[in-house]
Structure 1
Amino acid sequence: MSNMSEIKIVAASIVDFLKRQLEGETLSVDSRESVEVGVQCIETAFELGPEDFARAVNLQQLVQVYRTPPASTATSAERADAERLKNEGNDLMKSERHSEALEKYSLAIGIDRTNPVYFCNRAAAHFKLGQHEAAVADCMAALALQPDYGKAHGRLGLALTALERHREARAAYARASQLEPDNESYRQNLRLADERLNQRGERPPLDLGGLLQNPALLNMATEMLADPNMQNLISGLMSSNGAAPGAGGVLPNPGGGNAGGMSALLEAGQALAQHMQAANPELVEQLRRQVRPPGGPQPPQ
């Protein structure tokens, strides 16, 4: 099958998926119009005909299959052989015999394609050999089998960094750090990715998920809520209009002339900032780095 023929099958599959969405009732009127235009553009750009649509693949079913890890068909003896080959590959990596290690991992994968460790380890061998695209592919294969595999996210970040795909690398490091918050190398790589994005004039995305699961931030929040002074501030803020939100009251409206409410809000904000700075200045600086615009003032060295 020629490369152009394969491209047409992909394009026809996308059009087929979009047309299925148009047949349903999930799209708004505006979205339907956009999808219809997209369908027409793809059909015209790729010169799709009936023969192309006859070979189209159901993308939704393909994704479902992709997200369902395959069951291993290897026997227990075969899995033991695969594990032995993996261990031999690990020993070869320690001896920096990366090509031989790659062969061992490939043999293990040939026996059991359901073990994400084999793909992740082969990604490391590809990376050492400078085969960064292959390393990305193996990391993605490992993550398809185990989406919460922190090491695979971390190695994906390294391969993407080598390819200068820094925004994607930053997302991989952020996920690795979220899964393994005690891993200093992931945190360091995440900081370096942010610096590279800043150097290119790009704002690193605010990782709200990572912040909300940051143990230091959670501990600080717990301590603050247990502080009687902070409890009094929050109580005063919520009762500034006579009732707490959710019980018929509302938060102070800055434009509504509620000077007492705004004063309480400012006071609470200042107390919060002071508490955070005193309790964990390193975390405060991390938060500043995430929200500081690129090119903005930098802290003193």
Structure 2
Amino acid sequence: MADKKQQLVLSIIDFLNQSIDDGTVKQDDREGLEVAIQCIGEAFGVDPSDDNQRGRLSTQVKLQTIFDVFLKTRDKAGPSPAPAATPSAPSAEDKIKAEKLKQTGNMHMTAKKHEQAIDAYTKAITLDSTNPVYYSNRAAAYASKGDHASAILDAEKAIEVDPAFVKAYSRLGHAHYTLGDYKSAAAAFKKGIELDPTNANLKSGLQNATDRMPSEDDDDDDDDDGPPPLVPEGDLPQSSTSSIPRAGAGAGAGGLGGMADMFRGMGGGAGGGMPDLASMMNNPMMMQMAQQMMANGGLERLMSNPNVANMMNRMQSGGAAPSMEELMSDPDLKNLAGQFGGGR
């Protein structure tokens, strides 16, 4: 387990360096601050230029973000520990108006008008603060615009209003996950599963958060599918909701693997280099690919790609042939692999 003090020190150093870079610190004060940063790092054994150490200690959450969450939580709690007054029950008329405002907010979410959606949900909450759905939906709107600190507060408020409201735990887990607090995310998803043991989204979120929690044996950032999507309660279509992109989008493993196998079968070297031209032209798959590319103009587009041109010039000048890794780093070639290798 990474040293928590070193994690905090790295966050402080990153904040100070960012303050230097963005001009927060005056030019005359930069040198003194840089010396202070070096002294702090040495005192705690933290070297921000060490990629291995950074990978082990980084929380992936900016110190400023953590401080913002603290301030909002403190302001929400207020200066007095006295318990909050029980909200008065809304009238039947207020409930009807609040439901209409919720529907308006849902329509704004569908149109990705997040600010308008937040305003509509806020008005609904003003009329009926006893409905956890309004807080949950506003949490989704905040998360969609990148304000995950506010999303956490609204999700927690929804749980406060109704501790059995499962969707709020999904919202809370999603926000913590996106901010890199995988431990808190896992706790939220786990609590939701206790209430709804068959909920596949919560189970997936818990698995992803658990997989991303740091350990001494695994400091690398593995690909993940992300937490469950943000689905506001109501009649919103699934396509209008947001989620963390899934790993592997674009050309699939089948396309890349198929392209690699084809190159190896045509005489590619052990280092992953390109085969000779004669082998390529004798391969039926390559010929079919070339014919289709010429028919749809793809060959012309490919040859106008500056990366491809640089590779060809390098080979003509006696340089090394490009490796599969270099080829697949180019979006056009990667898409080509997906199209003709069965990866889409």
Fold match by TM threshold 0.5: no
Q: TM-score under structure 1 normalisation?
A: 0.44
Structure with higher helix content = 1
Q: Which has the higher contact order (CA 8 A, sep 6+)?
A: 2
With the length of structure 2 as denominator, give the TM-score of the two structures. 0.38
